[in-house]
Structure 1
Amino acid sequence: MNDPQSPPERGASSPAPGSRRPGGRTARTRAAVRDAVLTGLAEHGYPALTVEYVAEHSGVHKTTLYRRWGGVESMVADALALAGEDRWTAPDTGSLAGDLRALAREVADSFADPALAAAPTAFVAAAFQSPRAAESLHAFYAERFRRCACVVDRAVARGEAPAGTDAGAVVRAVSAPLFLRLFVTREPVDTRIADQAARTVLAAVEAGAFTSEDAGAPA
């Protein structure tokens, strides 16, 4: 368990909640708070998550939590921001079909294990109750979609997709039916369903469904 962060010197300016640059004890404190937030969300949900709970499970004094984050909403937002700072990269299988299938299967695999699925499921639920969490979840996936742009760029270069194909729309279309089943209809998602989503999007890409209306039009 990490030690509580030492208070700043008198007269030092206070940064915005959760905005300090990671490093040393600050990074360890931030990681400890993130882990406690994830555990609390998974066990109790956003409405029941408290500063006292995070303090007890992170080993960070609640005075420090209030000073750095201001409250639970900012802690949840920062936990999502920290998750988005990982080194995840989009798959590169050598074909658009393989890349889309890999992306869809990654979503399915992420929610196949209830223990692994608890935290992301709780984040989605929190986004419906907290504007800050919703903004952070949006930013998290916007970054994920940005990192996936190379999948479509490579496909266009290989002649597998028309020029002007909207990469973000393609990636959203792959994951959308899976998230619908996971969070709305509460149906199971497995490899077969993931592959089906990937095949559907591949056919749409090849048909030009994700190109803008003016793509390829003369200037």
Structure 2
Amino acid sequence: MTITDGLGRRPGGRSARVRAAVRAATLSELAEKGYAALTVDGVAARSGVHKTTVYRRWGGVEGLIADALEMASEEPWPIPDTGSAEEDLRALTRLVVTGFTDPDDGPVSAAFIAAAMQDSAAAVALAGFFASRHEQAARIVTRAVARGELPAGTDPAEVVRAAVAPIYYRLFVSREPVDAAVADRAANAALAAARAGALG
């Protein structure tokens, strides 16, 4: 199977460099200005890529967001492997909290969520991003089942969703603060549900 860059071209060479430059510029613009102020002109100026090229390849802001998310979904996630389901899940939820509270990464992560709520292409790309993250994080649960820490038949994806859902609720629904303590409680609740067989 031929791997392409998502636009029908093989990666490598100038095409890959242009995509990387535009993606880096998109992330920087999001971090500094947020989704509402993201423009093709701003990304073009920051990346050094002519705006006609950006329009031709990405179509507009929505395409820039979708492509940045697609590239992010292809990147490996540092999944914890401590030998303990409890510690792994806590480390995972703390990783999610850090992703939204970090001064550099937080605004970008929040901008991706905002974009997905306003644009269908961004929403599809965000769904793909989360699917990739859940697939990687599922190894925590698979290992825990193999060690006998969780019941056979536990659904790895459901455990991951249960662990991270309270964090997203606080961030984007109730607008409550999140910290390591919140992360640990969310992980503990998911683990308790899994041990009780509720997430099979």
**Structure 2-normalised TM-score?**
0.91
Q: 154, 160, 166: which is aligned to 1:165?
A: 154
1:154 aligns with 2:143: yes
Distance 2:129 2:8 in 1: 16
1:90 aligns with 2:90: no
Instruction: Please show how residues 88-167 of structure 1 align to structure 2 within 5 Å.
Output: 88-167=77-156
AA at the equivalent of 1:103: L
Distance 1:19 1:118 in 2: 31
Query: What do you get for the CA RMSD once the two structures are aligned?
Result: 1.8
Distance 2:178 2:116 in 1: 22
Contact 1:16/1:68 (<8 A) preserved: no
What percentage of aligned pairs have identical amino acids?
58
Instruction: Please show how residues 4-153 of structure 1 align to structure 2 within 5 Å.
Output: 18-153=7-142
Larger Rg: 1
| 1:16 Cα deviation from its structure 2 partner | 9.0
**Structure 1-normalised TM-score?**
0.84
Distance 1:89 1:125 in 2: 25
Contact 2:34/2:107 (<8 A) preserved: no
Distance 1:46 1:112 in 2: 17
1 or 2, which has the higher helix percentage? 2
| 1:19 Cα deviation from its structure 2 partner | 4.5
Contact 1:178/1:194 (<8 A) preserved: yes
Distance 1:170 1:50 in 2: 38
How many residues end up aligned between the 2 structures?
A: 197
